[in-house]
Amino acid sequence: MAKLIMSLDNAVIREVPLDKERFTVGRKAHNDIQIDNLAVSGEHALIVTILNDSFLEDLGSTNGTLVNGNPVKKHILQSNDVIEIGKYKLKFMSEAPTGAASVADFEKTMVLRAPMGKMNPPAPGGGGFGDTQVGATVTQATTQSRPQAPISTIAKQPEKLAAVQILTGPSAGKELELTKNLTTLGKPGVQVAVITRRPHGYFITHVEGTNFPVINGKTLDAQAHQLNDHDIVELAGVKMEFFFKNG
């Protein structure tokens, strides 16, 4: 979000985040940014913010509005522009549109619609596709086609692979590698827990049954619990050990 840093004689007075569409600047009390100084007109200037762009407009003030030393009537604000109103300076800082933030803004859902209030999308295979696209207008301002990184739909996996080894019961000694995002353990209808593989490690969560899993002798609650190397898990009467595999 863009903001204004207001200063007088190089001393910062306050910061104003431009968190709504219209900000008025002036001497009178009803302004969003009030500057109580006789060099400032009652309604001096207006800042309108639409998506990532902020526009400054002088509202016919007596002493005028300067941007970077030049008088302006209307001006599209750039980051680091200095607005001068009377002796006051307002430095405009736009949030640098880099990285994730800008991609996120771009990804905001927008409505694409036909100009004549035509609301039906073309029937599948009806050949109407051209109409919609050619005549289409986008109702929000920005449609720049920034190449969008394809989303990786597979969650980043933790670097180390882990496994559980059954310690007791008929299948003692068996080892199960936890390669999937979700691995369920236990007996359906009796007691089931799931181990989820997430970017920052493995977590165990109770799924069903009246008994909750026991980790290192401590009974879990309904919350997910991160597993550490060599944790002992007890589930449906069976003990097993969780461990990270080497290599």
Site residues for other proteins per CB under 8 A? 19-22, 50-51, 100-101, 103-104, 106-113, 117, 119-122, 124-125, 129, 132-133, 138-140, 145-148, 150-156, 180-182, 184, 188, 192, 194, 196, 198-199, 205-208
Alpha carbons 120 and 101: distance in angstroms, whole number: 33
Q: How far apart are CA 168 and CA 192, in angstroms?
A: 17
Q: Smallest distance from the beta carbon of 39 to other proteins, in angstroms?
A: 30
Sign of the dihedral through C-alpha 42, 18, 93, 60: negative
Please, which residues have CB within 8 angstroms of residue 121's CB and are 6 or more apart in sequence?
128, 132
Query: Rounded CA gap, 80 and 96, in Å?
Result: 11
The least CB distance from residue 89 to other proteins, in Å, is: 26
Shortest Cβ 126–other proteins spacing (Å): 9
Min CB(135)–other proteins separation in Å: 12
Phi, psi angle pair for 43, to nearest 5°: -115, 105
Q: Minimal distance in Å, beta carbon 198 to other proteins?
A: 6
The residue among 190 and 232 lying less far from other proteins, judged by its C-beta, is 190
* HSE-CB for 42 with a 13 A CA cutoff: 0
Task: Report the b/e string of 58-82 with b at 16+ CB within 10 A.
Answer: beebeebbbbeeeebeebebeeebe
Of the pair 35, 162, the CB lying nearest other proteins is at: 162
